[in-house]
Amino acid sequence: MKLQLNDSSLLQTQAFINGEWVNGDAGETFPVSNPATGEVIAEVASVGAEETARTIDLAEAAMKEWKKLAPAKRSEILERWHNLIIENTDDLAAIMTVEQGKPLFEAKGEVMYGASYLKWFAEEGKRIYGDVLPSPGDRRSIVIKQPVGVVAAITPWNFPNAMITRKAAPALAAGCSILLKPAAETPLSALALAELAKRAGVPAGLFNVLPSKSASLVGGEMTSNAKVKKLTFTGSTPIGKLLMKQCADTVKRTSMELGGNAPVIIFDDADLDLAVKGALVSKYRNSGQTCICANRLLVQEGIYDKFVEKFSEAVKQFKLGHGFDDDATHGPVVSKKALADIDAIVQNAVEQGANVVTGGKPSELGNCFYEPTILTDVNDKMSIFGEEIFGPVAPVFKFSTEEEAIAMANDTEFGLASYVFTENLGRIWRVSEGIEYGMVGVNETAISSEVIPFGGVKESGQGREGSKYGLEDYLETKYICMGGL
Ligand code: ADP
């Protein structure tokens, strides 16, 4: 299938360095394929450590002028970038669907969501305030905020657009420059964003995209180069830990959005229909491949059977299909490897005693399709309780008391998103405060937007993205003492 775009120049396959499209020094490329069909869509330029080091130098030089620019000017440029993304939603979504697999309607949703970070930080960047502190008569103590410096970003394939704008927008708004290594599965969305950044007038060197078949070469340079002052990463916890270690030698600031093991806690007193709807959206969005996807459904014993019945009725209505099929509600997972990992988790759970209510196996539609799955007869002793599934598989656990639910929710090294369904006000507060998560959705699972601080605790990471807090991550606090007044 040929990718049809209104504007074919959005399909870029070279690296974007200092405002120019270039190949890697060695002239190497790597293939990007469509997970729905296995077809290779493009060969993309691959860069290594040396190109990364040069980009860092250029980004550092570009920042000198950018940080001095009036915040309103930076804002105008970000706003233009936002507008161009919105104008090109259809093409950006098509590029995303073809390289990532998600249905086109979901891809369009992500493009809008991604653009919202640019608009938000275009505004927030104008409101970077300092402080004048109470001081003795002969001196004044002042606090100013300054851009943290050159930012390196590494992003995953599950949100090939929004995970980039979420980092680039606050970095640029704060006065920083940024170089990005997108996931090798989905570099085309990143490169299309770069083309629009160029058209929007983002000055050369401020936003650079470094696709590579060797994440460790680019990541190694990004983390060891002293000119990079901050690393922002979204991805798995093991790689996040590795990158934090690599950043230790140059004491870089880091923001880490890592893995999750989100519980959806559904109490007997919940609005059942609302809970079913919330769990469906949270579990199966992007075919279960988001770090805030419901990973464990914890359902109280009195409502358990009714919940499973309604939930499975709804899941059986899903229509698995290619992202471009109009009636597809859910697409493939990202790769054959991802599919094998998901299936191994399910088969392992079944061996340990889980019951498959629906799904439980790869679909015959193609190499990367997995049937939406529900498992019952699972418990907290099984390995599936502690694993990040990252696929369309919902294990439904049973609990008796509120205390038990809180203990089960907290029995994980992760702490990103969590969800609670109950109509009891006291319980809402007790549970929200008692569970160790960066984000709690109460009777709601669609919790993310540009306005809120997205992020986790424990081994789910550190730092926040979006909201006024997200800008702080790109700013240094400087204290100036004026004496002898
Ligand atoms: P996932 O399992 O979701 O692919 P990863 O953490 O492996 O999660 O990948 C997230 C991002 O981290 C991707 O851009 C990937 O290329 C990058 N990455 C993986 N390994 C390394 C590494 N050793 N150094 C730097 N980046 C890496």
Ligand 1 mean position, distance from CA 169 (Å)? 21
Centre of ligand 1 from the C-alpha of residue 350, in Å: 30
Please identify which of the residues 110, 257, 459, 472 carries the catalytic annotation.
257
Q: Is the CB of 160 under 6 A from ligand 1?
A: no
Q: Are β-strands 178-181 and 207-209 bridged in parallel, bridged antiparallel, or unpaired?
A: parallel
At residue 257, the pLDDT reads 98
Annotated active-site residue 481? The verdict is: no
* Cβ of 455 below 6 Å from ligand 1: no
C-alpha span between 475 and 275 (Å, rounded): 39
Amino acid at 375: L
Catalytic residue at 291? yes
8-state DSSP, 465: B
Q: Which amino acid does the sequence have at 444?
A: E
What is the predicted pLDDT for the residue at 237?
97
Q: Which amino acid, one-letter code, is at 157?
A: W
pLDDT for res 405: 98
Q: Residue 368 — φ and ψ, nearest 5°? A: -115, 15
Alpha carbon of 249 to ligand 1 centroid (Å): 20
Ligand 1, atom 19, lies closest to the CA of 215
Question: Which of 180, 188, 268 lies closest to 231 in space, CA to CA?
Answer: 180
What are the angstrom distances between the C-alpha of 203 and each of 60, 108, 170, 237, 422? 13, 27, 16, 34, 50
Predicted pLDDT at 33: 97
Give the pLDDT confidence score for residue 1 in this predicted structure: 59
**CA separation for the pair 168, 118 (Å, rounded):** 8
Q: Is the CB of 338 under 6 A from ligand 1?
A: no
What does the alpha-carbon distance between residue 155 and residue 472 come to, in Å, rounded to a whole number? 20
Locate 470 and state its tokens: 């997200």
Any residues with CB less than 8 A from the CB of 384 and at least 6 apart, and which? 345, 348, 349, 352, 354, 375, 378, 395
- Among residues 110, 195, 247, 291, which one is catalytic? 291
- pTM, entire model: 0.97
Residue among 280, 296, 295 at smallest CA distance from 330: 280
Rounded Cα distance between 335 and 391, Å, is 11
Q: pLDDT tens digits for the chain (485 residues)? A: 578 999 999 999 999 999 999 999 999 999 999 999 999 999 999 999 999 999 999 999 999 999 999 999 999 999 999 999 999 999 999 999 999 999 999 999 999 999 999 999 999 999 999 999 999 999 999 999 999 999 999 999 999 999 999 999 999 999 999 999 999 999 999 999 999 999 999 999 999 999 999 999 999 999 999 999 999 999 999 999 999 999 999 999 999 999 999 999 999 999 999 999 999 999 999 999 999 999 999 999 999 999 999 999 999 999 999 999 999 999 999 999 999 999 999 999 999 999 999 999 999 999 999 999 999 999 999 999 999 999 999 999 999 999 999 999 999 999 999 999 999 999 999 999 999 999 999 999 999 999 999 999 999 999 999 999 999 999 999 999 999 99
147 lines ligand 1 (CB under 6 A): no
CB of 224 closer than 6 angstroms to any ligand 1 atom: no
Instruction: Return the SS3 of 478.
Output: strand
Is the CB–ligand 1 distance for residue 219 below 6 Å?
yes
Cβ of residue 210 lying under 6 Å from some atom of ligand 1: no
Tell me the CA–centroid distance for residue 198 and ligand 1, in Å: 26
Determine contact, residues 453/472, Cβ cutoff 8 Å: no
345 Cα distance to chain centroid: 23
